[in-house]
Structure 1
Amino acid sequence: MDMDADWRLPRPNVPLKVGRRPKGSTLSKIDSIASTFSLLATPLVAEAVERARELSTESDAEGFHQLRVALRKLRALYWAYSPYLGEEATTQASEEFRRLAAVAGETRDWDIAGDLLRVAQHSRASLALLVSAAQDKRAQAVLDSRTLLNSDTVEPFLNDALLRAQTALQACCNDLPIQAFAEERVRLAQRAFMKRSKRTARSETAHEEELHDVRKAGKKLRYLLEFFEPVIKGGHGRAIKALTSVQDTLGQFNDIAASATLIRGESFSAVPPEVVQESLQWLEKQKWRRMRAAARQVRALCA
């Protein structure tokens, strides 16, 4: 579910009412649909809130990345429970998770672009000006992210979204067991992933949009397998490992494609246009090489 509109952040900080288990406990097949949502969502919300707090004083790239990961996992989790949460509630929460993840990702994107440009600089000394400009863009992205990811607004929103979802689920599926539901949601995610993978495998030439679709579908499937592995039938460790490997390759391609898009969409007043163009040409070559590698791995997965 990919939506771009914003959801107005609620101001009041609503305290969470979450039943807690002993540390280290996992999901059980006898748990209800409602209780498993709380067990899975609560640590993700806590992680996102903690990362947002840390970013008010720190600018570590890993902190931005982990915040984005937590928000992406929340989107996948809300998709999984959407049959009981309802389309409107799922859409509203997912839109805001997506927006916040994009804000967190801006700094991370400049980190990745800067790293790629420094690699290119080894053989293209003229890119030094662009590397410096990318560092300035990264610094501005940190300031923007800190403003938009203020924990005084992010924390109330996440707490409120979690409490609303818990209330809705407890009202309709507090007594329904999780196993059959979890297996069905994983099955749907797997079907979507394989459909996109087979479409890519049939293509003689790798297409950027198709690979992006495979990457997003694979990420959702992997998150769901990780969420529900304790309660669904069969061992899924091998599938998670295979998906992680494919995601790594697709992620390398995506980093280059996203960096090219980022640089192409920015203005660099202190950098000659021909230098920017030189960087884009280098990134384009790297992108096609990564695309071919990603397409080969997807085909191997479908064989």
Structure 2
Amino acid sequence: MTGKPRKWKVLDAAQPRFSGYAKPLVSEALTRAARLDENQDDYHELRVALRRLRTLLWAWRPLFGRDLDEPGPASLKRMAAVAGEARNWDIAAGLLGQRCEGKTADRLAAARDEAREAARRVLAGSAFRHTLLETLRRANRLLNASPRGVPMKRFVRGRVESADRTLDKRMRRAKKSGRRDYAALHTVRKRAKRLRYLIEFFGPDLPRRRCRRMKQLKKIQDRFGILNDVVSAEQLLAHHREIFEADGSADAALASLAKARKRRRRAAMKLLA
């Protein structure tokens, strides 16, 4: 005896589920952007919200087709970079430690304030709000127009498996490339972050073995994140040597960061073994 093939209910399908994940992130990003002058942590949290939103756009990309490639994800990445510029000055100040005093401290504070003001002009403006809301609307339009009946559980498992394979491939490539190829290590960090966000989003729909990798992903994010902070501060200060009182103090600070970078890179490489 054969029954009729099951018809997936709308709530079982992947298409309508996107909005439930994306809307809170859009709301959080707008809230953070509106109060950037109140708390420096909002720059970081805003970047996290945008990264998580971009991860969702990546996850649902097979159902969007190519129509969402521009301007949504690319614009979100550029705006996250604006917030990141302000955040990098805070990181640099923390890493400089006792070297950040006197005129150097004053100049660094001025550069940080200038970067924050530039970020506020971009992120608290109407263009940022429009980009976020339009990206969400456009994504929903494309999903509403796409064929129905893609089961959510099967869909997210496939996307997590894809992200998992990509991370493993990037880790092997970074291990072969050696310690000098920071770009390969940076890619590992980004792909680990993507996989972690996906597991956090879709944990209930994933087999338990997938969730067991969270411990490793957190270690990668911690060690590679510290490495990225040092590299970002080193590059930032190398381009803004004028904040130091003398070339000698600039050279000493950059040498200290270079030493920290090598130490952090060795620690990160151990996770690729």
Verify same fold: TM over 0.5.
yes
- Judge conservation of contact 1:193–1:214 (CA < 8 Å) in 2: yes
Aligned residue for 1:12? none
Deviations 1:22-58 (A, max 9, x none): xxxxxx9963211221111111101101111112x42
Where in structure 1 are there 5+ consecutive unaligned residues? 1-27
Aligned residue for 1:3? none
In structure 2, the CA distance between the partners of 1:209 and 1:127, relative to structure 1 (3 Å rule), is farther
Residue 216 (str. 1) matches residue 190 (str. 2) = yes
Residue 198 (str. 1) matches residue 177 (str. 2) = no
- Judge conservation of contact 2:108–2:243 (CA < 8 Å) in 1: no
Q: For 1:180, which of 140, 154, 175 is the aligned residue?
A: 154
Aligned residue for 2:236? 262
In structure 2, the CA distance between the partners of 1:62 and 1:292, relative to structure 1 (3 Å rule), is same
Distance 2:190 2:196 in 1: 10
Aligned residue for 1:73? 52
Q: For 1:83, which of 62, 65, 69 is the aligned residue?
A: 62
| Deviation of the 1:153 alpha carbon | 2.5
Aligned residue for 2:250? 276
| Deviation of the 1:228 alpha carbon | 1.6
Where in structure 2 are there 5+ consecutive unaligned residues? 1-8
Distance 2:161 2:20 in 1: 21
- Judge conservation of contact 1:246–1:298 (CA < 8 Å) in 2: no
Give 2:239's aligned amino acid: G
| Deviation of the 1:279 alpha carbon | 0.8
Q: For 1:41, which of 13, 22, 31 is the aligned residue?
A: 22
Identical-pair percentage:
35
SS in 1 for 2:71: helix
In structure 2, the CA distance between the partners of 1:32 and 1:290, relative to structure 1 (3 Å rule), is same
Q: Which has the higher helix share?
A: 2
SS in 1 for 2:149: coil
Root-mean-square deviation (CA, aligned residues, Å) is 2.1
Distance 1:171 1:88 in 2: 12
Give 1:257's aligned amino acid: V
- Judge conservation of contact 1:127–1:279 (CA < 8 Å) in 2: no
Q: Report the count of equivalent residues.
A: 265
Aligned residue for 2:208? 234
- Match runs of 1:82-161 below 5 Å: 82-118=61-97, 121=98, 128-161=102-135
Distance 2:111 2:208 in 1: 47
| Deviation of the 1:135 alpha carbon | 1.5
| Deviation of the 1:88 alpha carbon | 3.7
Distance 2:148 2:34 in 1: 33
- Judge conservation of contact 1:256–1:286 (CA < 8 Å) in 2: yes
SS in 1 for 2:16: helix
SS in 1 for 2:208: coil
Residue 32 (str. 1) matches residue 13 (str. 2) = yes
Distance 1:188 1:219 in 2: 14
Give 1:112's aligned amino acid: I
Aligned residue for 1:162? 136
TM-score by length of 2: 0.90
Give 2:74's aligned amino acid: E
In structure 2, the CA distance between the partners of 1:128 and 1:86, relative to structure 1 (3 Å rule), is farther
- Judge conservation of contact 2:55–2:194 (CA < 8 Å) in 1: yes
Moved more, 171-180 or 238-247: 171-180
Distance 2:71 2:178 in 1: 39
Give 2:144's aligned amino acid: Q
In structure 2, the CA distance between the partners of 1:88 and 1:134, relative to structure 1 (3 Å rule), is farther
| Deviation of the 1:214 alpha carbon | 0.7
In structure 2, the CA distance between the partners of 1:297 and 1:132, relative to structure 1 (3 Å rule), is farther
Distance 2:222 2:271 in 1: 11
- Judge conservation of contact 2:86–2:116 (CA < 8 Å) in 1: yes
In structure 2, the CA distance between the partners of 1:127 and 1:282, relative to structure 1 (3 Å rule), is farther
| Deviation of the 1:212 alpha carbon | 0.7
Distance 2:136 2:108 in 1: 37
Distance 1:130 1:38 in 2: 47
